[in-house]
Amino acid sequence: MTRPPIRILILAGGHGRGSNMQAIIDACQSGQIHGRVAGVIGSVAGSPALDRAAAAGIPASVVPFTKDDFAGYQSAVDAAIRSFSPDLVCLAGYLKRLSPDIVRELDGRIMNIHPALIPAFCGQGMYGERVHQAVLESGAKFSGCTVHFVDEGYDTGPIIMQAVVPVEDDDTPATLAARVLEQEHRIYPASAALFAEGRLRIEARRVRTLPAPVG
Ligand code: GRF
């Protein structure tokens, strides 16, 4: 039986480049992911991610971030998510905590990518250049990136896929970030592709990848 293509919703960060979102859009268009990006939610109109969505003809919603009413903001995000009826939600540079309601409702259907090897160099406040700076300061010889399912914590959900890169002696946060980003663009679409094929099974903390069906 052929599976129907999945509807993917991207939650983009306010000021991110939208490059992971683009990698997922491209992977849908090339057929690597059996699905399509049905919508994008951003928090700042005119952000690079929303510009990319417009260029790709993908419907977008803007949910402005309201610092003094975080619960109200979360409910507005929840409503926007539900309005797209997604099969899969991919966070791409989205830094805000999702409401416990939506996390429960879409359990096992929300993914995030983090630019380090979870459970190291992650958690609240660990994003962007800070991650790579912390890796360099630690003296670690390897870093990488992690795609994981989202639970109610920061970067604590079950790990789907990781890629490892070497830390070079002359690395700066920027050069390390660029090496990691290249791998992000590979493993995020690959994870979404496995999800679309129904090949990810969560067993407690571990995510098992089921073999591809024969024929
Ligand atoms: C990526 O480094 C990702 O790992 C992190 O946020 C960044 C988003 O970059 N969660 P982009 O907007 O996808 O280019």
Residue 167 has pLDDT above 60, yes or no: yes
The C-alpha atoms of residue 41 and residue 50 are separated, in whole angstroms, by 8
For 144, left (φ over 0), alpha (ψ -120 to 50), or beta? left
Cβ of 86 less than 6 Å from ligand 1: no
The model's pLDDT over 81-135, given as tens digits with 9 standing for 90+, comes to 999 999 999 999 998 999 999 999 999 999 999 999 999 999 999 999 999 999 9
Q: Ligand 1 centre from 131 Cα, in Å?
A: 12
* Domain spanning 6-201, CATH architecture: 3-Layer(aba) Sandwich (3.40)
The model's pLDDT over 62-95, given as tens digits with 9 standing for 90+, comes to 999 988 999 999 999 999 999 999 999 999 999 8
Tokens at residue 210, please? 């089921």
* Residue in the block written with tokens 């859009």: 25
Mean pLDDT of 23-32: 98
Residue 1 has pLDDT above 60, yes or no: no
Residue 50 has pLDDT above 80, yes or no: yes
Q: Which of 154, 146, 151 is nearest to 117 (CA)?
A: 146
The C-alpha atoms of residue 156 and residue 60 are separated, in whole angstroms, by 28
Cβ of 189 less than 6 Å from ligand 1: no
CB 119 within 8 A of CB 83: no
Cβ of 8 less than 6 Å from ligand 1: no
The reported pLDDT for the residue numbered 152 is 93
| 214 confidence band (pLDDT: 50, 70, 90) | confident
Residues belonging to the active site: 114
- Enumerate the domain spans of the chain: 6-201
What's the angle, vertex CA 116, arms to CA 114 and CA 121, rounded to 5?
105
CB 188 within 8 A of CB 180: no
* Residue in the block written with tokens 């979360």: 74
